């Protein structure tokens, strides 16, 4: 069974106080009970801090708005980037589908694939997805014949001067993109440049600004390309620009109107900023916001690489951005600070008033305490003197009783050996001597207990191991019946008190053992913080848990005492001596028979280092 946590260390000797010093301190406090110049300084400083906090709050609010605006702007840009990446995934999946069909899909197969993409729901803002075939001029007749088997009216337009054609062969949904069918994107610079760069780089590319032929509103748009190749040919030609050009088969592309793209990405009612996008000198998108003439929006511009192009995002705050925080925080800070300053003034005034009332009451109590302290001091001196006188006056008649018993035994020696002797007389004489001896022990215990509150003797170096050996020798305890475990320190402490504690505990371990010839004592020590914890254990009958507190009360015994030297006050002396040193003493529950006492004893800082105080067992 593990011991419970030790009780908190109780204070040692109570320090006396000087009534006159207390009265002097009260006089000083009475002077300080009025509003001091320091109070006025604190209030003035508080006003300065309030004004400073007001201006700081204004600056902080402006910085916070700037950070919030930048965060909102970055969110818009990130959403646009993410949507473009989403479209790129659709194009790359089209490339994968085309490659899985050997680089050539029929119109029906492409339509089935595009329906599975579910463009309207999964890719909002995209106008469609199609296939652009690369056609050499020499192969034009065969290409047209192959396409017209599924699309008899298919034609390539417009004519141009370049020796290659990049016609849009399939586009889904076809109805809304019918105007783009057969369009040869090589006819126009922005379309052609991005397509050819995608061919030699093998990467997705965005064209420069264009107007989609299928867009009736004629608003800015662009084409998004992803190239696909003849994989068998590509393995032999390699992945450099020349090899990619030779194995190039065509493009999977998506036409996009920037207005629809922004609408699909950003809901206007959820945004606190407006957006404008430009590509070089061309405006791709510009959101119109109605504002008052005196509103100056916050503005941020950022150049963002977009698959071969650089888009300039110009983001401006809307009036709603400024209205998010309607409460004027700096004014709130100012009014709150002034309110706190007023409360501080009232608090100081109330504290001053309360201090004066408390001091009046304290002065009255001090007068009463002073009178009681004087009376208590006189009573303590009388009690100490009485204890000395009584113990001295009682010892003399008790010694005389003991001597009288010896004289009676000597005078009756001849009678006690006769045949007519009454043997009860001898028992009565022995009992008389025993009671006299017990009375002497009790008086000595009372005297020892009463002088514990007297001024302690000076401290000295105490070798705890040597002290234990001395006490064992005084108690005639052989070395083989005492065990010591731990690093026993050398303490600078009150030797008399330390000896009292150990002597009483070791003496009890032997005295109350029913077989004194086999009584043994075990002592351990360990350091915990500023205290050493000592344990004294024995192999006696033990003490029941319900008596663990009671045994420390004066004149307490748990059973009829047969030992004439027992005063019933030894453990009370132990407890009082330990607590005067700031420690504690208790009985620790243990497995098996016997009793384990644990007590703490302080060690002063200069003597606590193990290399200075520890002496190994």
**Cβ partners under 8 Å of residue 451, min gap 6:** 384, 387
User: What is the pLDDT, as a whole number, of residue 440?
Assistant: 62
User: What is the pLDDT, as a whole number, of residue 444?
Assistant: 63
E strands in 413-481: 460-463
User: What is the pLDDT, as a whole number, of residue 210?
Assistant: 94
Q: Are strands 521-528 and 482-485 parallel, antiparallel or unpaired?
A: parallel
User: What is the pLDDT, as a whole number, of residue 14?
Assistant: 43
**Cβ partners under 8 Å of residue 228, min gap 6:** 95, 98, 99, 103, 249, 250, 251, 252
User: What is the pLDDT, as a whole number, of residue 11?
Assistant: 43
Q: Which two tokens stand for residue 452?
A: 């514990």
Dist CA 269 CA 11 (whole Å): 71
Rg (CA), the chain: 52
User: What is the pLDDT, as a whole number, of residue 1?
Assistant: 44
Dist CA 30 CA 33 (whole Å): 5
Kindly give the interhelix angle for 495-511 and 464-474, rounded to the nearest 10 degrees: 40
User: What is the pLDDT, as a whole number, of residue 10?
Assistant: 46
Kindly give the interhelix angle for 37-100 and 258-265, rounded to the nearest 10 degrees: 120
- For residue 80, which of 117, 121, 125 has the smallest C-alpha distance? 125
Domain range list for the chain: 102-317, 329-445, 457-616
Dist CA 154 CA 21 (whole Å): 115
Phi-psi region of 280 (alpha: psi -120 to 50; beta: other; left: phi over 0): left
Topology classification of domain 102-317: Beta-Lactamase (3.30.450)
Dist CA 178 CA 20 (whole Å): 110
Cβ atoms of residues 1 and 591 within 8 Å: yes
3-state DSSP assignment of residue 396: helix
The 531-538 sheet, strands edge to edge = 482-485, 521-528, 531-538, 596-602, 585-588
Task: Answer whether 0.85 is exceeded by the pTM.
Answer: no
User: What is the pLDDT, as a whole number, of residue 25?
Assistant: 66
User: What is the pLDDT, as a whole number, of residue 295?
Assistant: 79
User: What is the pLDDT, as a whole number, of residue 365?
Assistant: 76
DSSP 479: G
Dist CA 39 CA 353 (whole Å): 14
Class of domain 457-616: alpha beta
User: What is the pLDDT, as a whole number, of residue 424?
Assistant: 75
DSSP 270: G
Average pLDDT, 10 consecutive residues per value, the chain (617 residues): 51 50 65 64 82 79 85 90 93 93 89 90 88 90 90 91 92 91 94 95 95 88 94 78 90 93 73 89 86 80 94 89 64 76 76 71 74 74 67 68 75 71 73 66 60 61 92 88 93 87 89 85 93 92 82 67 57 87 86 85 56 36
Dist CA 600 CA 56 (whole Å): 56
Is 457-616 the same fold as 102-317?
A: no
User: What is the pLDDT, as a whole number, of residue 13?
Assistant: 41
């Amino acid at each position: 069974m593990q011991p419970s946590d030790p009780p908190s260390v109780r204070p040692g000797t109570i320090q006396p106080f000087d009534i006159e010093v207390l009265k002097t301190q009260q006089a000083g406090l009475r002077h300080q009970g009025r509003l001091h110049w320091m109070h006025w300084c604190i209030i003035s400083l508080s006003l300065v801090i309030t004004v400073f906090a007001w201006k700081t709050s204004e600056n902080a609010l402006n910085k916070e708005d700037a950070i919030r605006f930048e965060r909102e702007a970055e969110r818009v840009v990130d959403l646009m980037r993410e949507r473009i990446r989403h479209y790129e995934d659709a194009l790359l999946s089209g490339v994968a589908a085309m490659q899985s069909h050997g680089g050539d899909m029929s119109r029906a197969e492409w339509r089935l694939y595009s329906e599975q993409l579910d463009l309207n729901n999964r890719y909002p803002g995209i106008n469609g997805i199609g296939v652009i075939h690369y056609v050499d001029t020499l192969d034009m007749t065969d290409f047209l014949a192959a396409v017209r088997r599924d699309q008899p009216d298919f034609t390539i337009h417009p004519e141009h001067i370049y020796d290659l054609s990049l016609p849009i062969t399939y586009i889904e949904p076809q109805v809304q993109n019918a105007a783009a069918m057969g369009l040869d994107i090589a006819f126009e610079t922005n379309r052609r440049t991005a397509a050819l760069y995608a061919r030699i780089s093998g990467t997705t590319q965005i064209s420069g600004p264009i107007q989609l032929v299928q867009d009736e509103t004629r608003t800015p748009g662009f084409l998004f390309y992803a190239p696909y190749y003849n994989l068998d040919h590509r393995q032999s030609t390699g992945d450099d620009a020349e090899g990619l050009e030779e194995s190039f088969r065509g493009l999977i592309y998506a036409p996009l109107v920037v207005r629809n793209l922004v609408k699909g990405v950003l809901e206007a009612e959820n945004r606190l900023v407006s957006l404008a996008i430009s590509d070089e000198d061309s405006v791709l998108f510009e959101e119109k916001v109605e504002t008052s003439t005196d509103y100056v929006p916050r503005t941020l511009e950022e150049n963002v690489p977009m698959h071969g192009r650089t888009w300039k995002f110009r983001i401006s705050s809307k009036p709603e951005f400024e209205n998010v925080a309607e409460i004027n925080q700096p004014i709130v800070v100012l009014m709150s600070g002034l309110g706190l300053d007023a409360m501080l003034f009232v608090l100081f005034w109330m504290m001053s008033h309360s201090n004066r009332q408390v001091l009046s009451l304290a002065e009255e109590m001090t007068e009463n305490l002073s009178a009681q302290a004087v009376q208590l001091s006189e009573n303590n001196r009388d009690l100490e003197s009485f204890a000395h006188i009584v113990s001295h006056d009682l010892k003399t008649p008790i010694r005389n009783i003991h001597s009288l018993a010896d004289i009676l035994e000597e005078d009756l020696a001849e009678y006690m050996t006769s045949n007519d002797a009454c043997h009860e007389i001898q028992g009565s004489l022995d009992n008389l001597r025993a009671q006299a001896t017990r009375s002497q022990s009790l008086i000595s215990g009372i005297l020892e207990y009463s002088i514990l509150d007297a001024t302690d003797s000076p401290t000295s170096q105490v070798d705890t191991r040597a002290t234990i050996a001395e006490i064992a020798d005084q108690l005639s305890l052989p070395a083989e019946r005492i065990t010591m475990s731990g690093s026993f320190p050398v303490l600078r402490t009150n030797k008399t008190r330390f000896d009292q504690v150990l002597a009483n505990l070791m003496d009890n371990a032997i005295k109350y053992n029913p077989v004194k010839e086999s009584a043994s004592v075990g002592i351990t020590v360990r350091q915990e913080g500023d205290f050493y914890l000592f344990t004294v254990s024995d192999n006696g009958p033990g003490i029941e848990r319900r008596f663990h507190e009671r045994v420390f009360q004066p004149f307490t015994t748990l059973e009829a005492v047969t030992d004439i030297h027992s005063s019933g006050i030894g453990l009370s002396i132990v407890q009082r001596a330990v607590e005067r040193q700031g420690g504690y003493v208790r009985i620790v529950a243990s497995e098996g028979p016997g009793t384990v006492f644990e007590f703490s004893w302080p060690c002063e800082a200069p003597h606590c280092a193990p290399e200075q105080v520890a002496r190994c067992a």
